[in-house]
A and B are shown apart, each in its own frame.
Chain A
C-alpha cells in the first residue's frame, strides 16, 4: 500500500511521519504525475486558499477529482475544505464530498482549542474504548451533510467536525498533530 500526501503547502510532513509510524509507504504529491501508483491520498492542514491556488496553477484539480472517484482521500482542516462542495465563498474546491463547510467557524487563533470526541466508528474500527483527543486550529465546521455523506463526529454543541462518504473522509481537526494513530489507521481501512 502506498499513500500520497498533497505537499503543496501545510503540515504534510506530519502526516508522512504518522504513516511511517504505521509502516505505510508515503510520498509527497506536488504535480499530477505524482499520483501515479498511489492507493490513497491525504490532503493536510494548511491554508485552503494557498493549496487551492497551487492546485489550479499546476493542473491538479482534474487529476485529484478523478483520483477521488476511485481511491480513498482524507482531508484534515484545509483538506476537508478542499474536498467539500460548497463553502459559501469563491475559492477552488474539489467538490468530491456532499458537505457544506464554513471556514474559521470557531473564530481566530486565540479561540483554537483541544477537546475529547466520542467517535463510535473509530472505537469500533480500532477495537479501542478511549475517546479521541482532537486538536482544532482556526478550524472549519461541516455545516451540513447531504447525499451519501454521513456524520462521523460532532462537538458538544452539535456542530459537525467529521464526515465520511464512502472512501472519502473529512475532519475539521488535526490527528497528525497528536500521538494517537487511530484516525490514520481508520483511514487506511478505507483504502483498497
Chain B
C-alpha cells in the first residue's frame, strides 16, 4: 500500500479542518490549556504576544523550542509556531519539533528583505500574511497552504484587518468578472503567478483557506471578519491581554460559529470584562507599523 505524506492536499486540508474556528496566541502551557478549554481549534505558540513584542522593541525571533514543546505536550489540538520571514532554518527547526503549521510572520523581525521561504521544500504546511490578492497568491506560489490577512498585530484595532480582508475579497470579486484574456495582464499588474490567478477566478475564492488576523479583540470584531467573508479568525493579543481571557476566548469561539446571529452575538458579548487597551492605528507613526513587512 503506497502512502504519501506532506502532499499539497494534506497541507491545504489541515487548514480546511480549522475553518469556522479561532486560532489563539498563547505564551505558556497554561494559556494553551485555557485556549483549548475555551474551544480554540488551534493555538499559536510564542514567547510574547504581538502587543508585548511592540512594547519591548528589539529583534523578535522564533520562540524557544523548549517552550513550543511544552505547549505541544499540553494540548490535543494543532499547534502552530512563528518563524521570521525568509528564515528557512528557523522553519527547519520548527518542522523538526513537530509543529503542525508554521506561520512565516511579519510580527517577527524579517530575516530577508527580498525573499520569503520556499515553502514547497517542507513537509509541514505554512500560513502567511497578506494585504491584497497579489501578495496572497505570491505566498501561495511559494507554497503557503493557508493565508491570513495581516491586519496590524498587537494593536486591538481591527481597522487594518478589515482593510486587508476587503481588499483581498474585493480583488477576487473583480477578478471573477474579468475576461480570460485579461488574466495575464492582471497577473502582471498584481505580481501574482498566472496559474493561480486563473485558478482563483475559476474557484471564485482564494485557492487556500483564508483567515483574518491582526487587531481582532472582541466577539463582534470576529463576527465582522466572518461576515466580510473570511474562513476563520486568529486572535493574538486580544485574549490574554484582556481582563478575563477564558471568558473572552469562549465568547469569540461562539461568535465565529454564530457570526450571522445578532442575538447570540449580543449574548456572548455580555460582561466580558475589559478588552485589551488597544492602540489606534491611524495615530501610529509609520515606522511602528508591521503590516508592510513582506514582499
Inter-chain contact B9/A50, CB cutoff 8 Å: no
User: Which residue of the partner chain B has the closest CB to A118?
Assistant: B1
**With A49-B39, A114-B3 as contacts: A137 and B10 at CB distance below 8 Å:** yes
Q: Is B143 an interface residue (CB 8 A)?
A: no
User: Which residue of the partner chain A has the closest CB to B40?
Assistant: A50
Q: Is A96 an interface residue (CB 8 A)?
A: no
User: Which residue of the partner chain B has the closest CB to A177?
Assistant: B13
Within the assembled complex, what's the spacing in Å between the Cα atoms of A61 and B98?
34
Residue numbers in B under 8 Å from A8 (CB-CB) = 20, 257
Interface residues of A in 1-50 (CB under 8 A from B): 7-14, 30, 45-47, 49-50
User: Which residue of the partner chain A has the closest CB to B72?
Assistant: A108
Residue numbers in B under 8 Å from A10 (CB-CB) = 17, 19-21
Rounded to whole Å, the gap between the CB of B87 and the closest CB of chain A is 19
Residue numbers in B under 8 Å from A146 (CB-CB) = none
**With A54-B39, A138-B78 as contacts: A114 and B4 at CB distance below 8 Å:** yes
Inter-chain contact A11/B19, CB cutoff 8 Å: yes
Residue numbers in B under 8 Å from A137 (CB-CB) = 10, 13-14, 17
Inter-chain contact A155/B1, CB cutoff 8 Å: yes
Inter-chain contact B39/A114, CB cutoff 8 Å: no
Q: Is A69 an interface residue (CB 8 A)?
A: no
B 1-25 to A, binary, CB cutoff 8 A, 1 in contact else 0: 1111111011001101111110000
Inter-chain contact B19/A110, CB cutoff 8 Å: no
Residue numbers in A under 8 Å from B9 (CB-CB) = 114, 135, 177
Inter-chain contact B39/A45, CB cutoff 8 Å: no
Residue numbers in B under 8 Å from A63 (CB-CB) = none
Q: Is B217 an interface residue (CB 8 A)?
A: no
Within the assembled complex, what's the spacing in Å between the Cα atoms of A54 and B3?
34
Total interface residues on A, CB under 8 Å, equals 39
Rounded to whole Å, the gap between the CB of B77 and the closest CB of chain A is 5
Interface residues of B in 106-125 (CB under 8 A from A): 123-125
Rounded to whole Å, the gap between the CB of B47 and the closest CB of chain A is 21
Q: Is A115 an interface residue (CB 8 A)?
A: yes
Residue numbers in A under 8 Å from B103 (CB-CB) = none
A 89-126 to B, binary, CB cutoff 8 A, 1 in contact else 0: 10000000000000110011111111110000000000
Q: Is A168 an interface residue (CB 8 A)?
A: no
Rounded to whole Å, the gap between the CB of A66 and the closest CB of chain B is 21
Inter-chain contact A112/B39, CB cutoff 8 Å: no
Within the assembled complex, what's the spacing in Å between the Cα atoms of A137 and B18?
11
Most buried by B among A45, A47, A107, A156: A47
Q: Is B254 an interface residue (CB 8 A)?
A: yes
Within the assembled complex, what's the spacing in Å between the Cα atoms of A77 and B5?
17
User: Which residue of the partner chain A has the closest CB to B259?
Assistant: A30
Residue numbers in B under 8 Å from A14 (CB-CB) = 16
Within the assembled complex, what's the spacing in Å between the Cα atoms of A149 and B105?
46
Inter-chain contact A11/B16, CB cutoff 8 Å: yes
B 237-256 to A, binary, CB cutoff 8 A, 1 in contact else 0: 00000000000000001101
**With A49-B39, A114-B7, A156-B1 as contacts: A9 and B19 at CB distance below 8 Å:** yes
Within the assembled complex, what's the spacing in Å between the Cα atoms of A112 and B38?
26
Residue numbers in A under 8 Å from B19 (CB-CB) = 9-13, 46
Inter-chain contact A109/B14, CB cutoff 8 Å: yes
Interface residues of B in 76-114 (CB under 8 A from A): 76-78, 95, 98-101
Within the assembled complex, what's the spacing in Å between the Cα atoms of A55 and B10?
27
18 additional A-B pairs beyond A47-B77, A53-B39, A109-B124, beta carbons within 8 Å, are: A12-B19, A12-B20, A46-B19, A46-B20, A46-B21, A47-B18, A47-B78, A49-B36, A50-B39, A50-B40, A50-B41, A110-B124, A114-B3, A114-B4, A115-B2, A135-B13, A137-B14, A138-B14
Q: Can you list 12 A-B pairs, Cβ within 8 angstroms, ordered by A?
A: A8-B257, A46-B18, A107-B98, A108-B99, A109-B100, A110-B98, A112-B10, A113-B4, A113-B5, A114-B7, A115-B3, A135-B13
Interface residues of B (CB under 8 A from A): 1-7, 9-10, 13-14, 16-21, 36, 38-42, 76-78, 95, 98-101, 123-125, 253-254, 256-258, 261
Interface residues of A (CB under 8 A from B): 7-14, 30, 45-47, 49-50, 53-54, 57, 77-78, 89, 103-104, 107-116, 135, 137-138, 155-156, 174, 177
